[in-house]
Amino acid sequence: MLPAMKVLIIGGGGREHSLAWKLSLSPRVEKVYCAPGNAGTALLGENVPLGITDTEGLLKFARAEGIGLTVVGPDDALAVGIVDRFQAAGQRIFGPTRAAAQLEWSKAFTKDFLARHGIPTAASGSFEDVAEALRFCAAQSFPLVIKADGLATGKGVIIAQDAAEAEAAIREMLEGGRFGAAGRRILVEEFLRGRECSLHALLDGDSYVLLPVAQDHKRIGEGDQGANTGGMGTASPPPVPLGEDVERQIHTTIMMPVLRGLKADGLRFHGLLFPGLMLTAEGPKVLEFNARFGDPETQVILPRLRNDLLPVLEAVVDGRLGDIKLDWDPRPAVCVILASRGYPGAYETGQPIHGLAEAAGPDVIVFHAGTKPGPEGQTLTSGGRVLGVTALGATLAEARARAYEAAARITFDGCYYRRDIAASSPLG
């Protein structure tokens, strides 16, 4: 067997707890560090009090501890070029370079990429000037989608029902500084109708492998009402199967042209590419790209992976994906996010969480997101999305029932979750 190693995971949310959990099961992982981590990752290894964009601090730590592989969770770390810095220093790291990750951190860049390579997406225009954006809107039909160009934690998207709403959103972003630098350039986009799904693909520079498809629930409210969030719950596979035709189209109209496009543009993408798709009547279209694992998609994908994750991530880094055969648990998984009251707006933190041990079970994993260890051994809330309760079941209905039973055992002041995650029809 290859030698064991220490791994460092950058980030501190549910996605990172899932990665830490899965890597801690590897016989080749000696110790899992997480920077900054949360109360869940603290139980699996050691948390390191460093920020996710503290590239120099993280590099110093990785060198001093003799880390064998660093895994980047969040997009912000990719956008500041942590992968480039680690690579230049000879440290192995999982994730795309800053240039390749531009597919996530600039929506305008992505739109150009999609157009250049003939990949289906919503028609759009990109603007820095209010008057130009308004002129463009006047020639379109509503609803229209107004988006901040940069990273805005899933919240920089406004669906405008009429010209007045569009104008307000455009002014707020370009003149009012909402979303800061991320909103200095905006995109005005055609509204696509259909079902959304999250596609996860591992890319090793030359080839890709798809992971099982997941479905997120982005809105805060049941029946997909209210503000957009980072994601309130996931199912894998989605409640309504994609079907063979759509699966084939995903390869031929999206993934294969994406791979060809990356190569043609001289971008070697090593890491996880997550296209958000809308399954429209005209076929699947790209809503956006993420250059990292989804959160909470990872919480339903990794529990279904039977392989040791470490060699899979190493194969991506080393350009050897062809050597890997992924083996999936056929059982569906459902993850329900427990959030703090008020999220995605303002919320309180520091609330003690009860029932964590009671909720866990043979086919139930409670992933921590916004949690921190308290002074007396308790677990306290520390973020908007607090926990992700994942369950596996023989059927999606069983996984769903199990996830909700477990979620009901957990309490904290202001705990909120949607009751319709993975329901085949809203509130079903």
Q: Smallest distance from the beta carbon of 3 to ligand GLY, in angstroms?
A: 33
Question: Helix, strand, or coil here: 170?
Answer: helix
Contacts of 276 (CB under 8 A, 6+ apart): 196, 198, 199, 286, 287, 288, 289, 290
In the list ligand GLY, ligand AMP, none, the entry touching 196 (Cβ below 5 to 8 angstroms by class) is: ligand AMP
Count of residues interacting with ligand GLY (CB under 6 A): 8
**Residue 192 binds which one of ligand AMP, ligand GLY, none, with CB within 5 to 8 A depending on kind?**
ligand AMP
Q: Which residue has the tokens 């990872």?
A: 298
Give exposure, 179-205, as e/b (b: 16+ Cβ within 10 Å): beebbebbbbbeebeeebbbbbbbbbb
Q: Which stretch binds ligand AMP (CB under 6 A): 92-100, 130-138, 189-197, 357-365?
A: 189-197
Which residues in 94-153 contact ligand AMP (CB under 6 A)? Answer: 122, 145, 147
Give me the least distance between CB of 154 and ligand GLY, in Å please.
5
Contact between 95 and ligand GLY by CB under 6 A: the answer reads: no
**Burial level of 11, CB count in 10 A (0-12/13-18/19+)?**
buried
Query: Cβ closer to ligand GLY: 104 or 189?
Result: 104
CA distances from residue 55 to 62, 101, 168, 349 in whole angstroms, order as listed: 10, 16, 37, 27
Residue 295 interacts with ligand GLY (CB under 6 A): yes or no: yes
Q: Which does 122 bind (CB under 5 to 8 A by kind): ligand GLY, ligand AMP, none?
A: ligand AMP
Structure tokens at 275: 């296209």
Q: Which of residues 230-289 bind ligand GLY (CB under 6 A)?
A: 230-231
Cβ atoms within 10 Å, residue 28:
17
Shortest CB 293 distance to ligand GLY, Å: 7
Candidate ranges 27-35, 185-193, 311-319, 412-420; the one touching ligand AMP (CB under 6 A): 185-193
Contact between 390 and 364 under an 8 Å Cβ cutoff? The reply is yes
Spatial separation of the C-alpha atoms in residues 384 and 417, rounded to whole Å: 11
Interface contacts to ligand AMP, rule CB under 6 A: 122, 145, 147, 154, 157, 189-192, 196, 218, 228, 276, 287-288
